[in-house]
Amino acid sequence: MNFHKALMELSHSPEFINSERKQKLAALTALCATLLKVERVSIWQFPEQRTHIESEWLYTPDGAAAKASTLYKSDNPDYFSALESERVLSVPDAQNDLRTRGFTPDYLRPMNITSMLDAPVFDGARLSGVVCLESITYRKWTLPEISFVIAIADTISLMNTHEAWLDSKQALEYATRYDSMTGLLNIKSLRDRIGYLVDKLERQGRGSLALIWVDVDRLKSINDGLGAQVGDNVIDEIGQRLKQITVPGKDLLARIGGDEYALIIRNQTQPDKLEQTASRIRQVISRPIRLNGHSITVGASLGICHLPADCNTTEDLLRGAEAAMYNAKHKGRNQACFFDSSIQISARSRFELENELRTAIQEQKLDVFYQPITHATRSTVESVEALVRWRHAERGLLSPIEFLDVARGGGLMYALGECVLRRVCEHWQWARQHQIALPEVSVNLAPEQVLIAELPGLIRTICAEYDVPVNTLHFEVTEDAIQGDITAISDILGELVADGAQLSIDDFGTGYSSLSRLKGLPFSRIKIDRSFIGNIPDDEEDCAIILSILALAKGLGLSVVAEGVETEAHEKWLCEQGCDYLQGYLYSRPLPFDQLLDHFFVRA
């Protein structure tokens, strides 16, 4: 029977085409052994390192069987060299041939193998293995036999190429439709599913959908305090909990980015049922998560949008659920909000405000006001704090509380900080040119700035551009900003101090600072948050907190600024307790630059 005809009949048969790889290898090696009358036919693969070759399949007269065996290049260099250079190895006297005699003592002689024939298997253009025939009788391999074995090897090469294509197709499909961290479907899959269900509802003229948008609250604090890996583990754990949760009408769950998930509910969309579902979701998420010796508890803000009651399209359903989620966060987090038209207006307004803020930052149109910080005993201006303001064309003068959350949500904080620093340097340069001696200027650094390694270099560049000495600046950092990688933070802040700047911890007492972190970072000053000042000296708890902060600062060799000083009673008590500096409306509100000069400094 013609060798190649037999191979064609086998490889084109439906049974062969539809079988698994092992069954195909078994059929090919059996065909080869039967037609060429050899005792052993094996398939070998090169791993990626190519330091050895591993057996994938072995056919023997006793029947085909998978067998794990490994041959190392270091033990058989002549054989491996011949495979790379000659590719087809026709070896009648294998026990004495230079290319194969290294196998004689431990393999060829004990197995009584006399002749070998090896043909190369490829994966694309790369040599990926061999088909090996072994005969116990002397064989001088004929050209038709060699051609047939090469055809067998080529068939396996085609299998490799097809399998690689299938693997890449599956990998692309997975990457396109699934989230790599949690294994959940991604936002593309979510959109496709909603689109399908919306079309189905329109065709049938009945049914309903609800989309529940889930955002984990305060995950940033976990990332900053315990590290990004712990944060990722929390995201994965919550994803698995949501995957396992059983709620009425649950259709599809997706992770849609960061710490956000979305759940489609079909038909079971009555408000009371959705409230019960939302409550169940929050309950499952709020169970403690135990990781690396920590017990972590998080909440979630949920937004719920209904189709067709609230909207009619996939994108409107997504936007509506997201807007409702942001409304839940705005109301205090860890709750669920249903979508309504006022939320839509608010979301659109927020989007427009973000775009306008981005433009204002790019065009350097933000302004800076200054509030003096006075010496507690001498009542002289010791320094001034720079506070950003935005003169909006339609909304008027906006304070930070009205737009910093928008900036943070839009990823604009680093650029905003750069804009503020440039304006401060412009003012300082103008004052020097007019022979006005400004005191030290305090500039706030957001958490989004402090972890950027390029920050010290950016500050040096801007200061050099305006010829402002870095030692005229005093940077204020909130407690939350120092909860990340302590080594990276220490390096960045240490570089600022080395350049001449000083550092304060702002809003002290409201964050998560530990004594060990304070000791390890180059701060020279603590600013007590205004929330502890308003009720002194009458509130015993606030007084006790302030006294402990003052004692802590003294022990660490730090000076203290009290923010929010508004009355003489505040001033008197703080001075009696040894507070170093005071800041608040008792002395001055934040002032535009020209008013600051008129009130506190002499113009030339």
Cα 302 to Cα 214: distance, rounded to the nearest angstrom: 5
**Could you give the percent of the chain with pLDDT greater than 70?**
90
> Does residue 129 carry a pLDDT above 70?
yes
> Does residue 307 carry a pLDDT above 60?
yes
pLDDT digits (tens, 9 = 90+) for 264-299: 999 888 989 999 999 999 999 988 888 777 778 888
Q: Can you name the CATH fold of 187-339?
A: Alpha-Beta Plaits (3.30.70)
Cα 348 to Cα 343: distance, rounded to the nearest angstrom: 8
Q: Would you list the domain boundaries of the chain?
A: 3-174, 187-339, 353-600
Average pLDDT over residues 134-159: 88
> Does residue 559 carry a pLDDT above 80?
yes
Q: Can you name the CATH fold of 353-600?
A: TIM Barrel (3.20.20)
CA 337 to chain centre: 27
CA 146 to chain centre: 55
pLDDT digits (tens, 9 = 90+) for 467-514: 999 999 999 988 767 766 677 788 889 999 999 999 998 877 654 444
Which two three-digit tokens encode residue 310?
Answer: 């609230």
Average pLDDT over residues 127-132: 89
Handedness of CA 262, 263, 269, 270 (dihedral sign): negative
Which two three-digit tokens encode residue 450?
Answer: 């402090």
Q: Which amino acid is at 603?
A: R
pLDDT of amino acid 259: 86
- Determine the angle formed by the axes of helices 3-11 and 143-177, rounding to 10 degrees: 20
β-pairing verdict for 525-528 and 559-562: parallel
The band of 85, judged by pLDDT with boundaries at 50, 70 and 90, is: confident
**Beta carbons of 371 and 583 less than 8 angstroms apart:** yes
Give 342-371 as a 3 state SS string.
Answer: HHHHHHHHHHHHHHHHHHHHHCCCCEEEEE
Classify domain 3-174 by CATH number: 3.30.450.40
Which two three-digit tokens encode residue 336?
Answer: 């669920």
**Beta carbons of 526 and 558 less than 8 angstroms apart:** yes
Cα 498 to Cα 544: distance, rounded to the nearest angstrom: 35
> Which DSSP state fits 53?
E
Which two three-digit tokens encode residue 475?
Answer: 């940077």
Average confidence score pLDDT of the chain: 85
Cα 413 to Cα 399: distance, rounded to the nearest angstrom: 15
Cα 593 to Cα 370: distance, rounded to the nearest angstrom: 7
